[in-house]
């Protein structure tokens, strides 16, 4: 059946309308992630967050927060929002000097603030009215309860890795020290792959199988994809002297960290610093 001129114009108009709506939908989908705040932390980084108030408890907006990595000197800045909250994402694990400043208030300096991998460190600060040149230095603070995430897990730092007995210098031997993680006795004569490879015993978390674990190094997956098959290379095992820290998450971590329901192991290796250092 042949369409008349009016019908043809109607069909063309509907097609143009559909294409316009589809284009707008695709544009909105592409731009939507840009409007969301950055992730709090990843499998290779941590974050720093908190609230800024005055002595009466009222929130303070537009406070400049500067975090300086003690090891590298790298500086990151952020500004508190209208509700007084601030957020510094994607920070490399380590110690930071944090300064908070705003005209009309004394500068607050937080020394030696620790940022852990896959965690959000919380520091709430109260500013005092005074000259900007005045400075309040907080040398130490109590360890905060992790209230930013429901994920269960614990960080093992480099000092523990270097001082605990590792007969084969394989950090995966001490993963089983974390709660809800179980493993067989380590073979002191085994070299090469870790728990997930053919040369090591099984490592399970919360009753899941050995195939459910996820290993990442500096945010990159290092899993044994063949799961102990004949020609597998096992998971990557760095020297304990090169490890800054690692965290084992056993449950309730969000989708950005894990691919399975078992243990999630995030290993961070050391990076360059401003100081000369080494080991023998």
Query: Which of 137-141, 236-240, 242-246, 271-275 has the weakest average pLDDT?
Result: 137-141
Give residue 269's pLDDT. Answer: 93
CB-count burial class (<10 Å; 0-12, 13-18, 19+) for 21: exposed
Report CA torsion sign: 32, 37, 38, 39: negative
What is the per-residue burial (b if ≥16 Cβ within 10 Å, else e) of 206-230? eebebebbbbbbbeeebbbeeebee
Average pLDDT over residues 91-102: 94
Dump pLDDT digits (tens) for 192-202: 555 544 444 46
Nearest to 47 by CA among 132, 155, 120, 99: 120
Average pLDDT over residues 11-39: 52
* CA–CA distance, 258 with 42 (Å, rounded to integer): 11
What is the per-residue burial (b if ≥16 Cβ within 10 Å, else e) of 34-59? eeeeeebbbbbbbbbbbbbbeeeeee
Average pLDDT over residues 34-49: 67
Give residue 199's pLDDT. Answer: 42
The residue with greater pLDDT, 228 or 212, is 212
In this structure, which topology does domain 46-138 adopt according to CATH?
Immunoglobulin-like (2.60.40)
Tell me the pLDDT of the chain averaged across its residues: 78
Domain range summary for the chain, segments of one domain joined by + = 1-36, 46-138, 152-269
Dump pLDDT digits (tens) for 143-185: 556 666 667 888 999 888 888 888 778 888 888 888 888 877 6
CB-CB neighbours of 101 under 10 Å? 16
Using 50, 70 and 90 to split pLDDT, how confident is the model at 254?
Answer: confident
Give residue 192's pLDDT. Answer: 52
**Tokens 């005209």, located at residue:** 103
Q: Give the tokens for residue 37.
A: 């705040």
Give residue 169's pLDDT. Answer: 80
Is the per-residue pLDDT at 137 higher than 90?
A: no
Give residue 36's pLDDT. Answer: 40
| Cβ 212 vs Cβ 260: under 8 Å | yes
Give residue 35's pLDDT. Answer: 38
pTM above 0.85, yes or no: no
Q: Give the tokens for residue 62.
A: 């537009």
Q: 152-269 maps to which CATH number?
A: 2.170.130.10
Q: List Cβ neighbours of 262 (8 Å cut-off, separation of 6 or more).
A: 204, 205, 206, 208, 209, 210, 211, 212, 213, 214
Give residue 16's pLDDT. Answer: 53
């Amino acid at each position: 059946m042949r369409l008349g001129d009016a019908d043809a114009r109607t069909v063309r108009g509907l097609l143009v309308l559909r294409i316009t709506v589809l284009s707008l939908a695709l544009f909105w989908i592409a731009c939507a992630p840009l409007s969301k705040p950055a992730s709090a932390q990843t499998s290779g980084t941590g974050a720093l967050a908190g609230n800024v108030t005055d002595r009466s408890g009222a929130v303070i907006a537009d406070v400049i927060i500067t975090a300086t990595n003690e090891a590298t000197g790298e500086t990151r800045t952020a500004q508190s929002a209208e509700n007084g909250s601030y957020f510094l994402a994607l920070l490399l694990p380590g110690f930071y000097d944090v300064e908070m400043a705003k005209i009309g208030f004394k500068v607050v300096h937080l020394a030696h603030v620790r940022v852990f991998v896959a965690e959000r460190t919380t520091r709430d600060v109260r500013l005092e009215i005074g000259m900007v040149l005045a400075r309040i230095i907080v040398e130490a603070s109590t360890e905060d309860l992790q209230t930013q995430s429901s994920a269960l897990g614990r960080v093992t730092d480099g000092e523990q890795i270097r001082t605990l007995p590792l007969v084969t210098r394989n950090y995966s031997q001490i993963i089983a020290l974390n709660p809800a993680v179980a493993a067989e006795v380590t073979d002191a004569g085994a070299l090469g792959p870790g728990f997930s490879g053919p040369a090591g015993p099984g490592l399970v978390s919360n009753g899941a199988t050995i195939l459910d674990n996820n290993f990442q190094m500096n945010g990159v997956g290092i899993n044994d994809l063949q799961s102990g098959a004949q020609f597998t290379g096992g998971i990557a095992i760095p020297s304990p002297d090169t490890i800054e820290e690692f965290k084992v998450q056993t449950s309730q971590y969000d989708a950005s960290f894990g691919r399975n329901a078992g243990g999630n192991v995030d290993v961070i290796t050391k990076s360059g610093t401003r100081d000369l250092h080494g080991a023998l």
